[in-house]
Every structure is written in C-alpha cells, then in structure tokens.
Amino acid sequence: MIEVEETAIPGVRILKPRRFGDARGWFSETFNRRAMAEAGIDIDFIQDNESLSAAPGTVRALHFQAPDFAQTKLVRVLTGAVLDVAVDLRRGSPTYGRHVAATLSAVDGRQLLVPKGFAHGFCTLAPDTRVFYKVDAYYSQSHDAGIVWNDPDIAIDWPVAPDKATLSEKDLRLPRLADINPPFVYGAD
C-alpha cells in the first residue's frame, strides 16, 4: 500500500510508502510496481542513482534532460533531509515556471515523483545527506540541461543564503528560465 498526495502542480506527487514497525525498527517496500500501478502511476524505471552531499546547504540544482532522454524521477532520502524542488518547464502549461517544494527526510520516508517536463533540484538540510532516485530514461550528456537554482522569476525559497550555498561550477553557470527555450510542450506526452 502506498499513500499518494497530490501537489499544487498536477503530476508532481508526494508518495509515502507504508512502514511496518516493531521493537527492532521498521520495514517498508519503498517501490512496488504493482502498488504504484494501482495508485495510477505506471512507470518503467530503468536506472537508480544515489548522491551524497557532505555539508548542509549543498544545492544540486534544477536539472533536466531533453527528449528523447527526458526523465521521470522518483526521489527519496536515505540519510539526512532535503528541500526537494520540481519546476514546470512545459510550454503552454497553466503552471509553467511555477514550482513545488517538499521536505523529504530519511525519518519520514516520503518520496517526490517528478514527471518528465520538469526541472529537478534539492538543497540538503543535514550533514551527510544521501539522496536516491529512480529514473525511466538513461543519462545522456548531450541531452543534459538545467536552469540556475536561484532564478528570481521562479522565486524558490531555498533554505540557504546564496553566499552560503555549496554548488558545482556547472550549476553556477546555468541560464535563467527566461534565457532558454524548454523542449517540453504541455499535453504533448
């Protein structure tokens, strides 16, 4: 059984797998294809990714892959916590340029489902945070793109000041949303 919570942007969902606890701790099926399909989510995930961010305030920012390698992601936290963000990049969408942000932690076990057509990023809230996510398309360097994490037009309320954030050189050089032509069209799936 999996609990599915809709967000302010249709298609972006928060999933909470059930945990079974006793004196030893707990057990949870973090992914069950049949349970997902019964909840209306039928995705053929083909790759698992994991990252470790040592310091709180580490931002892994707003990445996406263009078609034909666009990815749906199912994100969860193994240790620590993050503010996880999905930004709608589907031209013609009523929520274009808007975002959903959710706190995910190892303690609560919630997951964020980020559909194709969205940029995805997160900021760590605790030291030694490990993020795990499933994707439904392989990584392609030639299709890899992104938008800058602190784009004022998107106005994400990040939990770290710009001068305190830890980012890669690549993420610091990403363009603003207004400076790209996103390759996604609302309703074209």
Note if 143 is an active site residue.
no
Measured CA distances, 83 to 50, 163, 166 (Å): 16, 18, 14
Rounded Cα–Cα distance for residues 127 and 79 (Å): 9
Q: Residue 84: which residues within 8 A CB-CB, separation 6 or more?
A: 75, 101, 102, 103, 104, 112, 120, 121, 122
Q: Which helix (H) or strand (E) holds 37?
A: helix 33-38
63 in active site: yes
Token look-up 């069209």 returns 185
Q: Give the span between the Cα atoms of 7 and 103, in whole angstroms.
A: 13
- Identify the active-site residue in 99, 133, 139, 186: 133
Catalytic residue among 63, 139, 143, 186: 63
In contact, 63 and 145? CB cutoff 8 Å: yes
| Residues involved in catalysis | 63, 133
